[in-house]
Chain A
Amino acid sequence: MKIELTVDGDMVSDDVEPRMLLVQYLREKLGKTGTVIGCDTSNCGACTVHLDGTSVKSCNVLAVQADGCEVTTIEGLAQDGELHPVQAAFHECHALQCGFCTPGMIMQSVDLLNDNPKPSEEEIRLGLEGNLCRCTGYQNIVKSVQAAAGASS
């Protein structure tokens, strides 16, 4: 099937198998390897991207479902060489170690703050429940979302 969509600001168009997942399309067809695959049951959230401005697990969306949509990945989050406040906060607060969950964690955090610019600690923890991290124990991730919330106010 032919699809046409915008990914990180660029119009792209491809023929894809109907069963191809959005994450496979991003990684294998577009080389957007910043978005990663961490599981096969939509539990880990490592593949989280924004679809028309809202976070989705791109392993849980077919590429054809993204036809006509706007997709933002971790690679398109920084604007004009300026890190997004959440990216900067992840660095500042040491919210990543191995970094594998980080793209998804950052994309989900951005979405969380879009919905709720001043979340409580509990709201942050619940908002990130669908994104697993094995390295950090989440403490500094929570802290960085709080820091980003403060920075953007």
Chain B
Amino acid sequence: MTAVTERPELEIGKSRRRKEDQHLITGRTTWTDNMTLPGMLHLAILRSPMAHATITSIDVSEALKRPGVVAAFTGQDFAETQGNLPCAWPVTPDMVNPGAPSLAMTQVNHVGEAVAVIGARTKVAAQDALEAIDVEYEPLEPVLNMEAALVEGSPLVHPNTTSNKSYTWVFEAGAAGTGQPIDDALANAEVTLKRRFIQQRLIPAFMEPRSTVVQPIGNGVLVHSSTQIPHILRTMLALTLGIAEHEVRVVAPDVGGGFGGKIPVTPEEVITTLMARKLGKPCKFTESRSESLMTAHHGRDQIQDITITAKKDGTVTGLDVHLFADMGAYLRLVGPGVPVLGAFMFNSIYKFPAYRFTCDGVFTTKTPTDAYRGAGRPEATFAIERIMDELAAELGLDPMELRRKNWIKHEEFPFTTVCGLTYDTGNYEAATDKALELIGWDALRAEQAERRERQDPVQLGLGISTFTEMCGLAPSRVLGSLAYGAGGWEAASVRMLATGKVEVVTGSSAHGQGHETAFSQIVADRLGVAFEDVVIIHGDTQSSPKGLDTYGSRSLAVGGTAIVKAADKVIEKARKIAAHLLEANEDDLDFEAGSFTVKGSPGSAVSIGEVAFATFMAHNLPDGVEPSLDSDAVYDPTNFSFPHGTHLCAMDVDTETGMTKIRKYVCVDDIGNPINPLIIEGQVHGGLAQGIAQAMFEEAVFDDAGNLTTGTFVDYTLPSAADLPSFTTDRTVSPSTDNPLGVKGVGEAGTIASTPAVVNAVVDALRPFGVTDVQMPMTPERVWRAVHSGDADRAPGGTNAYGGASTSTSDGGAR
């Protein structure tokens, strides 16, 4: 027994440098593509050059004669085994899911769809042999425009359906009993404003191309994959391919980013598994960047028709949202649910009494869509923050005053919204006031007025986004009510080693987020051990057997809470043994800073490390107590978490050239209690970059034949360091009351919030020119056209900037 030592400095709140970094900065990495195994075959996949066609014949015989080629197969060869890629979110009972084979069977439905696979002794041998596969296609008409696709008589993407509509999902607050009927609000409105906004198609574009290595072992497989979801992948591979779940082990080693892009079960994971099992050899498939951009799922792609009603004084009375959401050619793992995740967020921070949300999920002959950072909430935030600006302009009100008039006041929390969600905490006033001060709002407004007055060719625009989002996915019961095919819990184990070191097993699976560092800080404080004495184990279904992985800003609020609960169980187990060692009553023990002390007898103490050692020795334990402190917990959250914040953008807009430049970007985010401010800032910076990229730079464009014309990093323009400014980030803290750490998610906030702030800034600059919208991405051409077009309502997209290639959807669809 030792004397009580000084309480160690608290870890939570410290900007700890990351534990993850050492191997990443020295090149000692474990990316899946780094793996080489004895006898391993390399795969190459032949992909459809047609958007829509019947396969009339495939002949792989010539490819088999090429040097180094071991096998070549088509979809037909796996007809009995490949099944369909899983879609775990049938959002309505009558949702149409036509099926999604990993290798095409008789028809291809998007450019890039896998048609045949070659296994060879080297990667180049496999790739070289692709040209020897002979495929004949009978072209079908491509289906590229969502609205046209829904018109009676449109060509069908899938021959086994009767319409290109997968589903219609509706929420109406009046019917749900959470608000007033939307029809009344529409009928009685003093002011009604309608706008159509286009969420262009985006590509997650994680930096590490996806890679999968599958080793056949006995009746099962060991799968290494660049995935966000090792646990879900395990279950889904078992269900899809009929392998016993306990014979499937999935490892996500170092994973180079995901942003939702590594959420689904992919055709390539299934194909690699099929090949490894069929050939009895380890197989590896690594995609090229072009393959990744063409075939890894895309995100966003919605047409948003928004109607807002208000009183003349600016009080909002109703919001009616209709979406067309492009599913692409197939339903991926959670693709249909992505727009539905936005359903409860269009009302955002405002007190709408009436609300309706309707979404049509539509099939087209384009790359399938699924989650991309924010998944549903960026779309919702964009629409509401854009239309609040338009309403302010319509009513001649200041856009921030309109927001203040309608948002939930600090003293009104907890607040139940028109969607029935209960926002636990928030302080929109505080975040906004801080942001306005940081950017110097009044001075910028004065400058804007002055530059307008003297008709400066470079105009200044000021954009606002006062956002909230729902994350920390998610209470299992709520997911059940939305027909989601899984729960929303997370699992953790905390194991005390004999020497007092701590192993923490988590079911969340990081791919850049810094879990090892943040979770270590949490455990260090909870157990009173050193930060360095904690190791985080994750990303392998054998060592972390239970989990629901990483997406939806859930890891800290849900996974972190599971760890806290497991650590608390360790403490309770240790308490019994400590009481025995201290010859005291359990109830008389305090546990603080890693030591048990007897109340009123401060000299006598035993540390949790000493209890761990005593437990390991097991020589002197109380009767009936098992010699282990190790504990598990599975935590199912009681609510979502609701981060919020105020993002402000000051933008210089050259009305003569259309060039735009962010002059200053300030955001004040409220994500509850900060665990590691350094990591939080990093998450916000990266999120901002992606949200700004949607506003200014990125779009997946298809030509009239359904070819992706932005299929490389030459054309799909991720911003570089030279394209972005330094951001000013700050925080307010309204701790969540729904979890013991008081935390909210931060992974998606920057992306969700920033896009409308940037677009609002450009539109604000150009309002004197009669501009009310500029379609994203706001290329210089589009901005110039918005200024110079007589009909400046909408800048037509996709002309010169895209080599003349565009579709009606990328142009904004029918007006």
Check if A131 is an interface residue, CB within 8 A of chain B. yes
Tell me which of B251-259, B350-358, B648-656 binds A. Answer: B251-259
Residues of B within 8 A of A125 (CB): 720-722, 724
A78 near B257 with CB under 8 A, answer no
Which residues of B in the span 17-49 have a Cβ within 8 Å of any Cβ on A?
A: 17-18, 20-22, 24-29, 31, 33-34, 36
The bracket for how many chain B residues form the interface is: 35 or more
Residues of A within 8 A of B686 (CB): 97, 134-137
Question: What is the CB-to-nearest-CB distance from B472 to chain A, in angstroms, rounded to a whole number?
Answer: 20
B25 near A102 with CB under 8 A, answer yes
Check if B216 is an interface residue, CB within 8 A of chain A. no
Q: Pick the contact of B205 from A128, A129, A134, A138 — CB < 8 Å?
A: A134
Given A124-B721, A136-B682, also A97-B727 (CB < 8 A):
no
Which residues of B in the span 504-547 have a Cβ within 8 Å of any Cβ on A?
A: 511-514
Given A43-B713, A98-B256, A134-B686, also A128-B720 (CB < 8 A):
yes
Which residues of B in the span 215-274 have a Cβ within 8 Å of any Cβ on A?
A: 254-257, 259
Given A38-B208, A97-B512, also A134-B26 (CB < 8 A):
no
Check if B209 is an interface residue, CB within 8 A of chain A. yes
Residues of A within 8 A of B512 (CB): 97-99, 135
Check if A58 is an interface residue, CB within 8 A of chain B. no
A136 to B255: give the CA distance in the assembly, Å.
15
B207 near A46 with CB under 8 A, answer yes
Given A75-B28, A97-B682, A134-B259, also A41-B713 (CB < 8 A):
yes
* B698-735 Cβ-contact flags toward A at 8 Å (1 or 0): 00000000000000111000101110101100000000
A100 near B685 with CB under 8 A, answer no
B257 near A97 with CB under 8 A, answer yes
Check if A80 is an interface residue, CB within 8 A of chain B. no
Residues of A within 8 A of B29 (CB): 33-34, 36, 99
A60 to B25: give the CA distance in the assembly, Å.
22
* A114-135 Cβ-contact flags toward B at 8 Å (1 or 0): 0000000100111011111111
A43 near B712 with CB under 8 A, answer yes
Residues of A within 8 A of B722 (CB): 125-126, 128-129
A-B CB contacts (within 8 Å), total count: 174
Which residues of A in the span 35-60 have a Cβ within 8 Å of any Cβ on B?
A: 35-41, 43-44, 46
Check if A139 is an interface residue, CB within 8 A of chain B. yes
B207 near A87 with CB under 8 A, answer no
Check if B206 is an interface residue, CB within 8 A of chain A. yes
Residues of B within 8 A of A134 (CB): 205-207, 257, 259, 686, 689-690, 718
A28 to B122: give the CA distance in the assembly, Å.
10
Which residues of A in the span 75-108 have a Cβ within 8 Å of any Cβ on B?
A: 75, 77-78, 83, 87, 90-92, 94, 96-103, 106
* B657-696 Cβ-contact flags toward A at 8 Å (1 or 0): 0000000000000000000001101110111111000000
B724 near A132 with CB under 8 A, answer no
A128 to B269: give the CA distance in the assembly, Å.
34
Check if B61 is an interface residue, CB within 8 A of chain A. no
Q: Nearest B residue to A84 by beta-carbon distance?
A: B25
B254 near A99 with CB under 8 A, answer yes
Question: What is the CB-to-nearest-CB distance from A67 to chain B, in angstroms, rounded to a whole number?
Answer: 20
A94 near B18 with CB under 8 A, answer yes
Which residues of B in the span 140-160 have a Cβ within 8 Å of any Cβ on A?
A: none
Q: Nearest A residue to B293 by beta-carbon distance?
A: A39
A102 near B682 with CB under 8 A, answer no
A91 near B207 with CB under 8 A, answer no
A97 near B678 with CB under 8 A, answer no
B257 near A135 with CB under 8 A, answer yes
Residues of B within 8 A of A91 (CB): 17-18, 21-22, 25
Residues of B within 8 A of A103 (CB): 27
Most chain-B CB neighbours within 10 Å: which of A91, A96, A135?
A: A135
Residues of A within 8 A of B162 (CB): none
Check if B161 is an interface residue, CB within 8 A of chain A. no
Question: What is the CB-to-nearest-CB distance from A149 to chain B, in angstroms, rounded to a whole number?
Answer: 15
A133 to B724: give the CA distance in the assembly, Å.
12
Check if A7 is an interface residue, CB within 8 A of chain B. no
Residues of A within 8 A of B24 (CB): 96, 99, 102
Most chain-B CB neighbours within 10 Å: which of A31, A36, A130?
A: A36
Check if A64 is an interface residue, CB within 8 A of chain B. no
Residues of B within 8 A of A77 (CB): 26
Given A100-B256, A129-B721, also A39-B713 (CB < 8 A):
yes
Check if A141 is an interface residue, CB within 8 A of chain B. yes
Question: What is the CB-to-nearest-CB distance from A112 to chain B, in angstroms, rounded to a whole number?
Answer: 11
Residues of A within 8 A of B409 (CB): none
Check if A6 is an interface residue, CB within 8 A of chain B. no
A34 near B208 with CB under 8 A, answer no
Check if A142 is an interface residue, CB within 8 A of chain B. yes
Check if B290 is an interface residue, CB within 8 A of chain A. yes
A75 to B31: give the CA distance in the assembly, Å.
15
Check if B638 is an interface residue, CB within 8 A of chain A. no
A37 to B288: give the CA distance in the assembly, Å.
9
Residues of A within 8 A of B718 (CB): 132, 134
Residues of B within 8 A of A31 (CB): 36
Q: Pick the contact of B207 from A44, A83, A92 — CB < 8 Å?
A: A44
Most chain-B CB neighbours within 10 Å: which of A39, A46, A83, A101?
A: A39
Residues of B within 8 A of A75 (CB): 26-28
Residues of A within 8 A of B289 (CB): 38-41, 44
Question: What is the CB-to-nearest-CB distance from A26 to chain B, in angstroms, rounded to a whole number?
Answer: 10
A133 to B207: give the CA distance in the assembly, Å.
7
A121 to B679: give the CA distance in the assembly, Å.
22
Residues of A within 8 A of B31 (CB): 33, 36, 100
Which residues of B in the span 428-468 have a Cβ within 8 Å of any Cβ on A?
A: none
Question: What is the CB-to-nearest-CB distance from B723 to chain A, in angstroms, rounded to a whole number?
Answer: 8
Check if A148 is an interface residue, CB within 8 A of chain B. no
Residues of A within 8 A of B255 (CB): 98
Given A129-B720, A142-B726, also A98-B511 (CB < 8 A):
yes
Residues of A within 8 A of B33 (CB): 33, 36-37
Q: Pick the contact of A137 from B257, B513, B514, B689 — CB < 8 Å?
A: B689
A28 to B550: give the CA distance in the assembly, Å.
31
A36 to B208: give the CA distance in the assembly, Å.
8
Residues of B within 8 A of A46 (CB): 207
A83 near B681 with CB under 8 A, answer no
B256 near A99 with CB under 8 A, answer yes
Check if A74 is an interface residue, CB within 8 A of chain B. yes
Residues of A within 8 A of B208 (CB): 36, 38, 98, 100
A134 to B255: give the CA distance in the assembly, Å.
13
Residues of A within 8 A of B514 (CB): 97
Residues of B within 8 A of A38 (CB): 207-209, 289
A73 to B27: give the CA distance in the assembly, Å.
8
Question: What is the CB-to-nearest-CB distance from B480 to chain A, in angstroms, rounded to a whole number?
Answer: 32
A132 to B720: give the CA distance in the assembly, Å.
6
Residues of A within 8 A of B712 (CB): 39-41, 43
Residues of A within 8 A of B256 (CB): 36, 98-100
A73 to B726: give the CA distance in the assembly, Å.
29
Q: Pick the contact of B26 from A27, A33, A43, A83 — CB < 8 Å?
A: A83
A82 to B290: give the CA distance in the assembly, Å.
38
Q: Pick the contact of B726 from A90, A106, A121 — CB < 8 Å?
A: A121
A100 near B27 with CB under 8 A, answer no
Question: What is the CB-to-nearest-CB distance from A121 to chain B, in angstroms, rounded to a whole number?
Answer: 7
Most chain-B CB neighbours within 10 Å: which of A43, A97, A130?
A: A97
Most chain-A CB neighbours within 10 Å: which of B26, B254, B289, B683?
A: B26
Sample of 4 more A-B contacts, CB < 8 Å, known A97-B682, A98-B207: A36-B208, A40-B290, A41-B712, A77-B26
The 7 A-B pairs at the shortest CB distance, nearest first, are namely: A34-B27, A98-B512, A100-B256, A99-B24, A137-B689, A137-B685, A43-B713
Cross-chain pairs A/B with CB under 8 angstroms, 14 sampled: A39-B713, A41-B289, A41-B713, A74-B26, A87-B25, A90-B25, A97-B513, A97-B686, A98-B255, A98-B256, A136-B682, A137-B685, A138-B685, A138-B689
Chain A: residues with CB nearer than 8 A to chain B? 17, 27-28, 31-41, 43-44, 46, 73-75, 77-78, 83, 87, 90-92, 94, 96-103, 106, 121, 124-126, 128-142
